[in-house]
């Protein structure tokens, strides 16, 4: 882990102001800490020497107040900066993933870990570690230079011992990095396992295997707990080691100045200033060591969040055609589609072929969700209606407006065309009815109609439909076929189907044949 990842400010301009504000506040706090050492030494000397206490007391009080204000401002700024940077990173990664093709996106469990736990762990990195890092860069050199002017021999002790702290911190840091990476791997495994269990829960319950999964989740959770405790152990040990080293170093300065004071070789005010200044050279580095462990997770997350995810390449053409198009799923040893060439004409085109020949895969390639392994696809902006259209856990109205920005009048017209208006009339609160996760509250056929209505409302140049009449009763299927015909008069529609009646209505056929592995 690098102390500071410059990509953070280079690639995300929104993070520059928060990071600069923290830097300025850190530097100001450092100057105030040095001033405080001088003021306290002055006050104590005045107290011992019987001089006027008024001026030094006011100075100490003023500096303490300034430090208090600076520390409160830093706290507020750091919390704001942490939330801002984490939010910007989360927004950026979600945006990039949604624009990337399915092949270029990380595995779902990794996306889950990065966008939730990962983005949150950037907050302590920015809010606590970065201010500590700025203080460590500003305060120790300032303290040493001041000490050099005040008492050069004490400065020499500090110069000789201060480098031991970063050396120790770096040695311990190497272990921390390994432990953090191990913890991330177990966290991702835990998220992936949990996701799989949640997805398969209905099947597991129906086969009476749900209870068994609880033990498995507990076992994966245990591995994560052990990895976390191991990281914490290293954190506590390293803090203690750095603390000990800094304390011994300050003690050497104190003993040395104390001896010279006793021999009468040193003025009280100089000795006090030296003793008060010495810790200022160590504590910022010690604090970096303490915050490093919380920040290690954040640095790992920043790495993942800034990793290059290539955006999907949409050609932005008016017409749609493919040439010598081939596609092979990652890890598969045969192409699911090979050497396909076709030019889509206006009207309705149906893609037909036996189950498993790659029809859905072809639609995903046309929609730009996958990248061809070979050949070229020229595609305009498309709207894909999958076999299970995505439904937000929100109202029917929200679901219809999703990504289209259509007006209520346009929505009402589209609903009337697809017959969704009758479905809505039967819902308890009409278009204000709340739908559950995954379209809970709608039947498969009703959900298909919702997807089709959304396609009508979209302004995409081509509409892609995957099995639009599956799950529908004969009357509904008849109505949906007529809607698709109407839609195909406004723009090209490519529909994958096993429905002979829909195929009979098509203007063009795009037959696919099954590839038999050699
Ligand atoms: N994510 C995936 N990873 C690996 N192989 C996949 C993946 N999705 C589909 N396949 C395989 O690719 C082949 C084509 O699948 P596809 O879903 O495109 O077929 P299809 O023609 O649409 O089938 P159906 O008519 O039954 O819907 C199948 O053999 C399938 O097992």
Domain co-membership, 278 together with 367: no
Of 100-114, 167-181, 311-325, 499-513, the least confident: 311-325
Q: Is residue 331, in this structure, part of any structural domain at all?
A: no
Q: Is residue 314, in this structure, part of any structural domain at all?
A: no
Residue with tokens 């209520």: 408
Mutate to test the pocket of ligand 1, among 325, 334, 358, 516 (most ligand atoms within 8 A of CB): 358
Instruction: Specify the pLDDT at position 510.
Output: 92
Strands 337-344 and 348-352: unpaired
pLDDT digits (tens, 9 = 90+) for 37-78: 899 999 998 888 887 888 999 999 999 999 999 999 988 988
Q: Is residue 226, in this structure, part of any structural domain at all?
A: yes
Domain co-membership, 385 together with 471: yes
Query: Of 306, 331, 360, at which residue does a domain stop?
Result: 306
Domain co-membership, 47 together with 196: yes
Q: Is residue 330, in this structure, part of any structural domain at all?
A: no
CA of 110 to the centre of ligand 1 (A): 23
What's 212-280 look like in SS3? HHHHHHHHHHHHHHHHHHHHHHHHHHHHHHHHHHHHHHHHHHHHHHHHHHHHCCCCHHHHHHHHHHHHH
Indicate whether 517 pLDDT > 70: no
Instruction: Specify the pLDDT at position 352.
Output: 92
CA of 511 to the centre of ligand 1 (A): 16
Indicate whether 239 pLDDT > 60: yes
Query: Which residue, among 374, 390, 363, 327, has the nearest Cα to 465 in the 3D structure?
Result: 363
The predicted complex's ipTM stands at 0.94
* Ligand 1, atom 28: closest residue by C-alpha: 356
Q: If you average pLDDT over every residue of the chain, what do you get?
A: 83
Kindly indicate the confidence band of residue 170, based on its pLDDT and cuts at 50, 70 and 90.
confident
Number of domains in the chain: 2
Query: Of 306, 332, 362, at which residue does a domain stop?
Result: 306
Let me know: does 88 contact 15? Beta carbons within 8 Å. Answer: yes
Q: Is residue 317, in this structure, part of any structural domain at all?
A: no
Query: Which residue, among 119, 171, 173, has the nearest Cα to 300 in the 3D structure?
Result: 119
Q: How far apart are CA 515 and CA 81, in angstroms?
A: 55
Domain co-membership, 295 together with 352: no
Instruction: Specify the pLDDT at position 314.
Output: 46
CA of 359 to the centre of ligand 1 (A): 8
Kindly state the tokens that stand for 474.
């004969």
β partners of residue 348: 493
* Ligand 1, atom 23: closest residue by C-alpha: 356
Instruction: Specify the pLDDT at position 171.
Output: 77
Domain co-membership, 14 together with 64: yes
Q: Is residue 517, in this structure, part of any structural domain at all?
A: no
Distances (CA, A) of 234 to 273, 297, 302: 35, 14, 22
- 487 or 311, higher pLDDT: 487
Q: Is residue 163, in this structure, part of any structural domain at all?
A: yes
Let me know: does 487 contact 408? Beta carbons within 8 Å. Answer: no
Q: How far apart are CA 496 and CA 468, in angstroms?
A: 8
Domain co-membership, 226 together with 367: no
Residue 472: domain span = 346-373+381-511
* Ligand 1, atom 10: closest residue by C-alpha: 329
* Residues lining ligand 1, Cβ inside 6 A: 329, 332, 336, 353, 355-361
Give the dihedral of Cα atoms 408, 409, 412, 417; nearest 10 deg.
-140
Give the dihedral of Cα atoms 18, 22, 24, 30; nearest 10 deg.
180
Mutate to test the pocket of ligand 1, among 338, 359, 499 (most ligand atoms within 8 A of CB): 359
CA of 355 to the centre of ligand 1 (A): 8
CA of 388 to the centre of ligand 1 (A): 15
Domain co-membership, 433 together with 501: yes
Half-sphere exposure for 503 (CA within 13 Å, toward CB): 12
User: How many other CB atoms are there within 10 angstroms of residue 464's CB atom?
Assistant: 26
Q: How far apart are CA 97 and CA 242, in angstroms?
A: 41
Domain co-membership, 110 together with 179: yes
Q: Is residue 516, in this structure, part of any structural domain at all?
A: no
Domain co-membership, 270 together with 385: no
Instruction: Specify the pLDDT at position 369.
Output: 83
CA of 70 to the centre of ligand 1 (A): 61
Return the ligand 1 atom nearest residue 102 CA: 1
CA of 191 to the centre of ligand 1 (A): 26
pLDDT digits (tens, 9 = 90+) for 460-485: 889 999 998 887 888 888 888 988 99
Strands 462-466 and 320-327: unpaired
Query: Which residue, among 181, 294, 295, 195, has the nearest Cα to 227 in the 3D structure?
Result: 181
Domain co-membership, 355 together with 259: no
3-state secondary structure of 222: helix
* Ligand 1, atom 5: closest residue by C-alpha: 329
Q: How far apart are CA 36 and CA 24, in angstroms?
A: 18
The residues, any chain, with a CB within 8 Å of residue 24's CB and separated by 6 or more, are none
Kindly indicate the confidence band of residue 494, based on its pLDDT and cuts at 50, 70 and 90.
very high
Indicate whether 493 pLDDT > 90: yes
> Angle at which helices 268-306 and 54-99 pack, to 10 degrees?
10
Q: What is the mean pLDDT of residues 164-193?
A: 76
Return the ligand 1 atom nearest residue 512 CA: 21
Query: Of 306, 331, 354, at which residue does a domain stop?
Result: 306
No. of H helices and E strands in the chain? 17, 8
Return the ligand 1 atom nearest residue 467 CA: 27
Q: What is the mean pLDDT of residues 379-395?
A: 86
CA of 357 to the centre of ligand 1 (A): 7
110 sits in which H/E element: helix 108-113
Which CATH number do you get for residue 133?
1.20.1560.10
Domain co-membership, 280 together with 205: yes
pLDDT digits (tens, 9 = 90+) for 425-451: 888 888 888 887 766 677 777 888 888
Which CATH number do you get for residue 432?
3.40.50.300
Beta strands in 117-164 (DSSP E): none
Return the ligand 1 atom nearest residue 496 CA: 22
CA of 86 to the centre of ligand 1 (A): 37
Mutate to test the pocket of ligand 1, among 350, 352, 356 (most ligand atoms within 8 A of CB): 356
* Ligand 1, atom 9: closest residue by C-alpha: 361
Strands 348-352 and 493-496: parallel
pLDDT digits (tens, 9 = 90+) for 289-347: 777 766 777 777 777 777 755 555 444 556 788 899 999 988 888 889 988 999 998 99
Domain co-membership, 198 together with 285: yes
């Amino acid at each position: 882990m690098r102390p500071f990842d410059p990509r953070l400010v280079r690639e995300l301009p929104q993070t520059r102001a928060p990071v600069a504000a923290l830097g300025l506040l850190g530097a100001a706090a450092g100057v105030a800490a040095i001033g405080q050492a001088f003021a306290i030494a002055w006050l104590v000397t005045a107290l011992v020497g019987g001089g006027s206490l008024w001026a030094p007391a006011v100075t100490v009080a003023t500096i303490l107040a300034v430090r208090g204000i600076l520390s409160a401002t830093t706290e507020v700024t750091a919390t704001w900066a942490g939330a801002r940077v984490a939010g910007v990173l989360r927004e950026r990664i979600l945006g990039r993933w949604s624009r990337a093709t399915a092949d270029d996106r990380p595995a779902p469990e990794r996306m889950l870990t990065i966008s939730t736990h990962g983005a949150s762990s950037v907050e302590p990195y920015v809010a606590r570690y970065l201010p500590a890092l700025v203080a460590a860069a500003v305060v120790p050199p300032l303290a040493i230079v001041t000490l050099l002017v005040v008492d050069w021999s004490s400065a020499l002790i500090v110069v000789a011992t201060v480098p031991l702290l970063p050396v120790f911190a770096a040695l311990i840091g190497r272990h921390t990095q390994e432990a953090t990476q191990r913890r991330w791997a177990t966290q991702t495994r835990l998220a992936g396992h949990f996701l799989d269990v949640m997805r398969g829960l209905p099947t597991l319950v129906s086969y009476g295997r749900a209870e068994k999964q609880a033990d498995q989740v507990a076992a994966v959770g245990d591995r994560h707990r052990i990895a976390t405790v191991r990281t914490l152990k290293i954190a506590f040990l390293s803090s203690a080691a750095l603390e000990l080293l800094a304390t011994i170093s300050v003690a050497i300065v104190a003993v040395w100045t104390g001896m010279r004071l006793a021999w009468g070789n040193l003025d009280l005010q100089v000795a006090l200033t030296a003793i008060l200044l010495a810790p200022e050279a160590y504590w910022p580095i010690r604090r970096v060591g303490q915050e490093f462990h919380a920040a290690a997770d954040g640095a790992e997350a920043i790495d993942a969040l800034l990793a290059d995810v290539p955006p999907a390449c949409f050609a932005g053409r008016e017409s749609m055609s493919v040439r010598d198009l081939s596609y092979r799923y990652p890890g598969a040893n045969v192409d699911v589609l090979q050497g396909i060439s076709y030019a889509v004409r206006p009207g309705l085109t149906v893609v037909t072929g036996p189950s498993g020949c790659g029809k859905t895969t072809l639609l995903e390639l046309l929609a730009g969700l996958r990248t061809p392994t070979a050949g070229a696809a020229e595609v305009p902006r498309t709207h894909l209606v999958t076999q299970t259209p995505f439904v937000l856990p929100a109202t029917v109205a929200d679901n219809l407006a999703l990504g289209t920005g259509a007006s209520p009048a346009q929505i009402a017209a589209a609903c009337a065309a697809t017959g969704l208006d009758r479905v809505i009339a039967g819902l308890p609160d009409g278009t204000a009815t709340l739908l559950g996760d995954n379209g809970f509250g709608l039947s498969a056929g009703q959900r298909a109609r919702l997807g089709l209505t959304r396609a009508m409302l979209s302004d995409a140049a081509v509409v892609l439909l995957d099995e639009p009449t599956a799950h529908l009763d004969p009357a509904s299927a008849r109505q949906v076929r007529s809607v698709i015909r109407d839609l195909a008069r406004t723009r090209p529609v490519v529909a994958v189907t096993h429905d002979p009646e829909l195929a009979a209505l098509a203007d063009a056929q795009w037959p696919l044949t099954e590839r038999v592995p050699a």
